[in-house]
Every structure is written in structure tokens, then in C-alpha cells.
Structure 1
């Protein structure tokens, strides 16, 4: 009998519900498959910034070069290497062996698989450990894995269940080695500034409360936090080194929340409501309907008694914390704007990123409610609802579904159309044929298209979308666009009070940074400081719009370019002289 049980164990493992969830995720991921790069991936704050940096690091062989004097020449005329993401992150490593699109897609799949398995093992051990809950845990894990989010940040959000699993293990005195390895892996595969600091802070608060409640300190999870923090210090060495050694003055010191925030109490309340009901898009924006309905149903259907009172207390505390955090995030720009002169560090570090913890907290509300919900049909309805909400609000997935159906919006280009390698190859080749200059010998800047497109096509760009770069460079670059900033108070505030998008601006285009080939756009008047551009090494302006009077700014048309399937109609202007 024991031999039969031993032989059937692998079979039970193979058909375990989690593997069906993994298979479902793999099938859902087939929606991304397309020939010749015709896959849609998120553009805003993603393709227009997150792939260009590791690509430039790998092209220059500087991913692991942390010397203080090292610069990345392809970015912003020599951006300090230590201002950029660490070279130990998996996405950077994948770009060493794969082209950008396959590297991104494989990384996304790995992040979502890690998220699925993480929530499953957490639920099976601590959330819903009963044997009959295995299928429920698998579907919940799948619902977690398909949430919308920015997977370029690694497991910053979807990997948090692993951190909780590891800390709970250490608190219970089990799985010590694997728990420490998980914490080190999370530090390697997530962002310190976006999630790591807040995971450490939240875990520290939890352990402090736990020590107060139990009148003793749980040392093992405390050591685990030390391992997590130490791993972050090792992985994020570029950032830590630049801060400790003051390698450069960051442009973030000029963030001005008083100018960026708009509206009064009403605007703050609206923003808080969005944080509470939808979350923030970088950290996964999805409607919190299923957790709220589950909480209401559990409290309503559970018979009156101590169990119902305990559930009500737990849900009240958890929902109260989420509501308080939503208010904090909603009013954060206004609060910081009022105190930024007294507390300058608040300009540079965004404390509202505690919202990166809220997706897991909302799944905690959902699981806590489902544990007490007496109606099995209602339980499954709510879990399926959460799965459909997450999938339906996952823009990458839904737009790839529309692409498969031939209904991709014209405003949302595929990767191949956005990067347009054939179009930019024409430009590079013609410049080299006519001038003898390879891309490393001159600098470009972009108008009407993200500079990341130029970087991914091996140009050396003066402009970029960066969340950390030297303040003197911002002041120097401003000379190029001062005339257009003077014409547009909105763009002037956008650049002077924020400036992460260090772009060529046009008052006529406003914040339209993606000007498609059709309909053709023409800028009638463009004030551009060509001498300052030339002093920075600038030679060509790659423009997605036609300039009506380029000669007024000291430019002349070098050529115009089109390519089948490209999102852009490109005009290239050359500095005279």
C-alpha cells in the first residue's frame, strides 16, 4: 500500500491545481505571440523609457561597471552610469543574450509565473491551507498573476507574496534556508526605490506590532529583514554609491510639488477615491470590486456571534488602513508642496509609493473574506470575478487580443511599428553615406517621438525620459527649449517643476509625445536654440512633425523617411554650418 502511495505521489503533484493554473497562464500568454515583432507592449512609462536604459548599458558593456567616473554615452551625452538601474537585475541579463522584445516578453512571463507560484504557496500554507481549498488557491493565484502592472520593475508587486511567505516561515521557525534565499532573490528582482523601501518599512511595522502584542521579539524574521536590506544594498550598489559619495546633484532636487499639484480638497478627495477603488497604474490598477463584495457578503452571511465579530474587526482594521493610505496618497502632492521648503528631501523621494503594497493587501481582504464565506457558489463567483477584472483591465493583454482580432487602435502601435528599425536604419545609413559619420560621432534629439526610440535604434540622444540625472544637465538642456517653454506655461511647469521627460518640446504639440505618421502634422513656429544644441554635440533633430520654417532656427532639411508599417513619418533636420 505504501508503494502504491509513493508511486501516485508524483502523479498527484503533476495534476495539482497549481499546474493547471500555470498552464492557463501560458495559454493566456500566447496572446502576445506575433511575427516580426508585431506585439503590443505598454508604451507610456514603459517602452518609452524602461527598455532603452538596459539596452544602452549592454551595448556599451557597462551593466556591471560601477566606477564613479563611468558614463553611458548613448544617454544624455554621457549620463553617469550610477544614475541607472543595477546590472544584476534579470531584465538586464536577458538583454545580454536576447534582442529587446524577446527579452521583455520572456521577462514578463517569468515575473507572472513567479507571482502565481508565490501567491499559491502563501495561500496553501497560511491563507487557505485546507485540502479542499487547493483549486480555489490556484485560481486566486492565476487572478493575481494576470493583474495589470509594469513588469519591467520585476517582481516589485507580483513577488510580494514570496516575501510574506518567507517572513511567516521564519516567524514559525521553518524553511529557514529557502526563506533567506527567497528574500535575496526578491532584492535582486525588484526595485528598491519603488517597492523595496516600503516592503521593509511595512514588515518592520508589522514585526514591531507583533513584538508588542506577544511581549517578545521574533528574531528570525528580523534577521530576514536584515538579509533583505543587505541584499538590496549589494544589488542597488550604483544608487547607494551615488548617494553616499554624492557623485552628482540629482535633478529631483528641483521637484516642485506646489506647482505640480492642482485643485484643493475636492481634487484630493477624487484622487484618494481613485487610489482606494482602482489603485495606481504603476503598481497595478484594477477595480477593487471583488474584495469589497466578498467582505460585504462574508459579514452579511456569517451567522451572528464571535466569529462574525472577529471578522468584522479584522476587515475594519484592514480596510481602514487602506482608506487611510488612499487619503495620504491622494493629498500627498498638496501636503509635500506645503512643506517642501522646510523638508527638502521630500522633493526627491516619493513616500506615496506605499501604494505598491496595496494590491497584495486587497487580495488579503479577499482571502480573509472567502475563508469565512459560507456559500461555496458565492465564493467561486467572486474569485472568477476577480480573475476577469484583472484580465480585463490588463491593457497589454486586451490590446493584444484586439490585435489578434484586427482591431488594434491606430493610437497604440505594436513594438515593430513603434521602434521602426527599418525606418531608422535608413536614416543611419544615409547619414553615414553622406557625411562619413557613424552614430557615435554625433548627437541627436527627438521632436514628437520618445528619445527611447532613437536609443533602441543605436543613436546617441541628448534627450531622454529619466527619473534621475544631473541637475546641471537639466539647466543646460533647458537652453535648447527655453523659447517653447516661454510660449506654454503648462510645458514650463511640466519641465521646470518635474523634468523627468527631458525632451524637445513644442508649444503647438503640447504634451503629445507620440505624433503618428497620419494625419501629418506641421509645426508652424518652433523656437529652438540651435547654437546651444551644437555646443552639446547636437547635429540632427529627428522629428515626427514637419517644421514649416526650419531655417528660422538654423536648421535645414536633411531628408524625410517612411517605411512600411512604421508608426512615424520622419523628418531629419541638420544644423547649418
Structure 2
């Protein structure tokens, strides 16, 4: 800590590097500061899907209700509660205390702080130990913390250094109580299906390799994995119970058809593998892997010729070889599973390509290992700085907030306040109540041209939603509403039938445009909508971001159109005739 004693001059160098890294991360986070919700947060696969379900759970008081009979009325006409995320996860707890946006931003900051501290401790003890490397470790930890990973999934990516640190500590000695606690916390703050299964699998393989090499079992890290697995069993109890004990509903994922979704030959697979290798995947951290590759090349260039260089080459080839193997597996996964799923249909429900969630940590391992073999602090600092710039520059959420502060936010990227548009949807609710006397719980809506999550966050009960798990029977029921539009568009038909996570109202004229802005105004000339099936599901109103030129042909009638200052949408309200 810095000295403030009388007579001793204050010096910048008195602050530990870790404190500087934390201060810089907090400073960078100021880009998110804005009044009245005018902050930009990621929309695709994030705002359009991850905030609405916990909000609905909390509004209905069902976040911790895991009974098999519990239904969440606000989503998909009564979505089984156990199809949604666990109520024990921190984001859900924060949303119980704060509005959705504030909860999301606080959660993101906590995830990144946890990632920074975990990476710093891992590097200081195992990656880059030594009294003179603290600043380098802090810089690399900061570069890790700003990676463009989806923080709505908790510490699934950025918290992995904590797991590595805990298991390495347990392998080296008896460990501390904190090592066991870390494994429990990781299970509660991450996603089992996105990262947990693959962390367990990868760590188990490494322990098997360790046992083979040393001809003995390292029991403490094995018990650590057991603790991690049991913790996941507690926090993900509904999912584990439905998989291993009693299926509570048949998931729509059983109709996934990867061969239809991503057809292609060897060239397509290699191109996809190349993207996984050099860029990664956007959920788990999309950044150019230039710094680790450059560091590895320079380490080999500076290594003295002979046995030392050969040893270094073998180790680097082993690390990069694993990454190449993961990239090839992920790149060709749609084609591989397209063949296997015919023999083992249940494999349709699982996405085993998510081993890519482990690759950011592996690349940072390559970078840290290479830095150990480079001479002089200047070159090392330059490579860490390069990684920091690449990670931060490719962090779309951060860069767009910087552009917002500069008054240059693209019109296609609305802020949270513009996207959710609470004033606009409040007026719609009020008009429906004034006309019918009914609160939103008494009727159901569906959305055209925008994500149903917007309606859900504004208190509406929706028949449609973006969900990665829901009953297959409901998918078939909902398909009747949009069958006419699917028949008009082979692309949308494949999109829904072979995947279906976006259980949306579709229009062949709009295609996959799920963000139809108020300007320029869009109109749909012909909409083959099955109003009778909509009514059977309990639907009464269609909220459309595009004007229907002939609503009567769809058995709808226009009740009103709505706009609001600052809102991204212009909404037309239609009622089933």
C-alpha cells in the first residue's frame, strides 16, 4: 500500500500494480455511464434474450420455485419454470434488487473484476512468477478482463482462471479452504451447459494425463472436480433432475438439424475452423489471436539454438496443437453431428462444440508462457499492450459506448432506453386497459419485427420468445401461426424447423430482420398469419414494428399506432377480429 507518513514523498510507484489495473478497469467502465438508461448494451443473444426471463421469474415470484408443475405465465403462454436459468445465479439476485439495466451493468463490472483478480493471481503464482513481473501480470490480467465475452453468462469465461488456480493449488499441496470455495462459487456464477460441462471434461482429461505421467492419482484436484460437479448439481438441479431422473417435458432441441442449418463441404468446414482458431466465437470472446501467435514466434526466435529451443518448440506446438484441434472440431461440428444425429437422435439436443469457451484461457496460457522466454521488459510490455488494445478494440459493447459518448452511435444500434422504449409501451398498455378494462395478465400478445423480450420487459405476457429450451409440443403449436409465412420463405422455414430458438412471428418480406426501426418505415404487403390458431393459444393482440397494408386479410384490425420521442420503434397495435 502507498505510504502517507509525514516526511515521505508520495510516489506513483507506491501503488501495487494490481491496484492500477483495477483502477484502469473502473475508468474504462465509465464509458457505460449515462442518464435515463441511455447506455448501449449488446442486443443480439443478450438484451433480446437474457434479461427478460429472469425479469419474468422475479415479477411472478418464481425464481426459486423449482416444482415441476410451475409455469411462468409471462412467457410462451406458461413456459415450464425449469426451462429457465437457475434462480441462484447472481444476475437473478441483482435483478431482484435493481432494475434490469442497473443489475446488468453492475453484474458485468463484478464479472470483469473477478476475471481480473483471478487471472492476476494465476499468473503471479504459476504463469509469470517472480518479484519483478507483478506489473506484467497486472497488465495481462487487465487485458483478460476487457475481453468481449458475454457477461450475462456470469464467469463462464472470465472466471476460468479461478478454477485453474484452485485445481493447481490442490495438486501442489493440501490447498486452502478458499480453493474449495472458489469451485463452489464458480458453479453458482457460471453456466453448466455453456462452460461447466467443458471445464469439467477438460480438467478431467488433464488429470488423467497427469495420472498417466506420474503413475499416481492426485486425489485433491479429483475431489475438487467432484465438488465442482456437485455444486453444479445443486444450482442446476432442475436441469440435472430432468436429464438424469425424470424428463419434465420433451425439449424442442430434439428437432435440431445441424446439417440443414450449416450445409457445406470441406472448404466450409476449414473456413469455419480458421475463424474459430484466429478469432474465436463471439459469446466466448471474439478477438484476434495476434498477440499470442506473435509472442510464440518471438520466443522461438530469441531462444538459443539447441536443446532449449527444441523443448520450447515442443511445448508451444503442444499448446497450439490443442487449439488447432478444438478449432477443427468446432468448425466441422455441424457436419459431424449431422451424420451422428441420425444414429443417436438425443445428440441433437446438445452442442458439444462449446469447447471453444475454453480457448481464450488457452490462448492466454500460450501468451504467458511465451512472455517468460522473451528478453527485456519492453518487448513483453508491448505484446501485453497489443493484447489489451485488441481485446478492448474488439469489445463491441465498450467501443459503441465510447462512440455514444462522442455522439457517433450508429442509428442501427439503439441504447437500452431506445430499445426497450418504456414510455411507448406504457401508452399501449394504458390504451388496451382503457378499451377493455384488462390488465396484461388477462390477454396475450405476440410481436412482429422486434424481439418479444422488449414486450416482456414492459410487462406484457407474450406467446413468443427467444428461448434455448422449451417444450417441443409448443413449437408445433406455434408453428401453425406462421406456417403460411414459412411456406413462402425456405430460409425462414429451415431457420425455425431446424433450430427454433427464436419462436417468433415471421414475415417472409422482413426475413430475419428482428430489429425493424421506426425510420425508415417498413410495410408488409401480404402476411399469411393464422389468426384462428393464434386465438386458440390465447393470443389477442399483435404488436408490429412494421405496418400491415392489409390486416383484414390476416383477420386483424388496427387499433392504433404509437411512437415516442427517443424510441427505436414505431408500433402498430392489431387485434384479432
Q: What TM-score do you get using the length of structure 1 for normalisation?
A: 0.97
Partner of 1:382: 383
Instruction: State yes or no: 1:333 paired with 2:334.
Output: yes
Total equivalences in the alignment:
569
Counterpart CA distance in 2 for 1:241 and 1:469 is 16
**What per-residue deviation string (whole Å, max 9, x for no partner) do you get for residues 281-304 of structure 1?**
111110000000000000011111
Partner of 2:209: 209
Partner of 1:349: 350
Counterpart mapping for 1:53-92 below 5 A? 53-92=53-92
Partner of 2:323: 322
Contact 2:444 2:462 in 1 (8 A): yes
Counterpart mapping for 1:393-404 below 5 A? 393-404=394-405
Contact 2:449 2:544 in 1 (8 A): yes
Counterpart CA distance in 1 for 2:441 and 2:411 is 34
SS in 2 for 1:35: coil
SS in 2 for 1:132: coil
| CA shift for structure 1 position 344 | 1.3
**What per-residue deviation string (whole Å, max 9, x for no partner) do you get for residues 396-449 of structure 1?**
000000000000000000000000000000000010011101000000000000
Task: Please list every run of at least 4 consecutive aligned residues from structure 1 whose deviation after the TM superposition is greater than 4 angstroms.
Answer: 11-14
Counterpart CA distance in 2 for 1:453 and 1:336 is 34
Partner of 1:109: 109
Partner of 2:131: 131
Counterpart mapping for 1:316-465 below 5 A? 316-465=317-466
Counterpart CA distance in 2 for 1:12 and 1:294 is 29
Contact 1:81 1:238 in 2 (8 A): no
Contact 1:450 1:464 in 2 (8 A): yes
Partner of 1:231: 231
| CA shift for structure 1 position 307 | 2.5
Partner of 2:267: 266
Structure 1: which 5+ residue stretches go unaligned? Answer: none
| CA shift for structure 1 position 167 | 0.1
Counterpart CA distance in 2 for 1:138 and 1:59 is 41
Contact 1:86 1:236 in 2 (8 A): yes
Task: State the Cα RMSD in Å.
Answer: 1.4
| CA shift for structure 1 position 173 | 1.2
| CA shift for structure 1 position 522 | 0.3
| Greater mean alpha carbon deviation, residues 234-243 or residues 63-72 | 234-243
Note closer, same or farther for the CA distance 1:158–1:13 as it changes in structure 2 (3 Å cut). Answer: farther
Contact 1:448 1:543 in 2 (8 A): yes
| CA shift for structure 1 position 239 | 1.2
Note closer, same or farther for the CA distance 1:14–1:235 as it changes in structure 2 (3 Å cut). Answer: farther
| CA shift for structure 1 position 338 | 1.4
Counterpart CA distance in 1 for 2:361 and 2:50 is 24
Counterpart mapping for 1:23-172 below 5 A? 23-172=23-172
Partner of 1:185: 185
Counterpart CA distance in 1 for 2:425 and 2:58 is 20
SS in 2 for 1:558: strand
Contact 2:41 2:415 in 1 (8 A): yes
Partner of 1:16: 16
**What per-residue deviation string (whole Å, max 9, x for no partner) do you get for residues 74-133 of structure 1?**
000000000110000000000001000000000000000000000000001111110100
Contact 1:84 1:238 in 2 (8 A): no
Counterpart CA distance in 1 for 2:357 and 2:287 is 13
**What per-residue deviation string (whole Å, max 9, x for no partner) do you get for residues 495-531 of structure 1?**
0000000000000000000000000000000000001
Q: What TM-score do you get using the length of structure 2 for normalisation?
A: 0.97
| CA shift for structure 1 position 339 | 1.8
Note closer, same or farther for the CA distance 1:14–1:64 as it changes in structure 2 (3 Å cut). Answer: farther
| CA shift for structure 1 position 205 | 0.3
Partner of 2:562: 561
SS in 1 for 2:561: strand
Counterpart CA distance in 1 for 2:376 and 2:314 is 21
Counterpart CA distance in 2 for 1:575 and 1:86 is 36
Contact 1:83 1:242 in 2 (8 A): no
Counterpart CA distance in 1 for 2:17 and 2:175 is 23
| CA shift for structure 1 position 174 | 4.3
Partner of 2:173: 173
| Greater mean alpha carbon deviation, residues 315-324 or residues 300-309 | 300-309
Contact 1:57 1:63 in 2 (8 A): yes
SS in 2 for 1:540: strand
Counterpart CA distance in 1 for 2:542 and 2:514 is 15
Contact 1:75 1:460 in 2 (8 A): yes
Counterpart CA distance in 1 for 2:79 and 2:13 is 50
SS in 2 for 1:283: coil
Contact 1:85 1:238 in 2 (8 A): no
**What per-residue deviation string (whole Å, max 9, x for no partner) do you get for residues 514-573 of structure 1?**
000000000000000001101111000000000000001110001000000000000000
Instruction: State yes or no: 1:480 paired with 2:481.
Output: yes
Note closer, same or farther for the CA distance 1:120–1:13 as it changes in structure 2 (3 Å cut). Answer: farther
Counterpart CA distance in 2 for 1:308 and 1:378 is 19
Partner of 1:313: 314
| CA shift for structure 1 position 12 | 11
SS in 1 for 2:540: strand
Partner of 1:538: 539
Structure 2: which 5+ residue stretches go unaligned? Answer: none
Counterpart CA distance in 2 for 1:62 and 1:72 is 8
